[in-house]
């Protein structure tokens, strides 16, 4: 299955209220990191470790995780973060499979 990265970019931008989103795929990340994010006023950069993010389900989980950090404005993995991430996974999946193209 081909991963539709531009569709995922549009979905992430909708979730972040129009903030520009860029994805970086790399294998040059610490072994303990699946993904990371840097959020600025006008953009979010999401880096995914291709050693771990291999299929669409991995992408959904990593993207939801990083968007939850962007939404909560925190690096913490507290209850608010977990609830946000849990809400985002089905939302991202639904948007991904609902939108054609």
Domain containing residue 82: CATH number: 3.30.2010.10
Assign 77 to helix, strand or coil.
coil
Q: What is the pLDDT of residue 1?
A: 76
Q: What is the pLDDT of residue 61?
A: 97
Q: What is the pLDDT of residue 68?
A: 98
- Go through 20-54 and write b for each residue having 16 or more CB atoms within 10 A of its CB, e for each that does not: ebebeeeeebeeeebbbbebeeeebebbbbeeebe
Number of domains in the chain: 1
Global confidence as pTM: 0.93
**Domain span including residue 17:** 5-98
Q: What is the pLDDT of residue 100?
A: 61
101 pLDDT more than 60: no
pLDDT tens-digit series, residues 37-92: 999 989 999 999 999 999 999 999 999 999 999 999 999 999 999 999 999 999 99
């Amino acid at each position: 299955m081909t991963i539709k990265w531009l569709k995922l970019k549009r979905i992430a931008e909708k979730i972040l209220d129009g903030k520009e989103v860029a994805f970086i795929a790399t294998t040059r990340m610490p072994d303990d990191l699946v993904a990371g994010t840097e959020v600025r006023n006008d953009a979010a950069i999401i880096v995914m470790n291709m050693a771990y993010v291999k299929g669409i389900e991995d992408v959904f989980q990593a993207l939801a995780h990083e968007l939850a950090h962007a939404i909560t404005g925190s690096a913490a993995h507290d209850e608010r973060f977990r609830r946000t991430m849990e809400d985002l996974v089905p939302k991202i999946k639904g948007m991904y499979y609902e939108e054609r193209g």
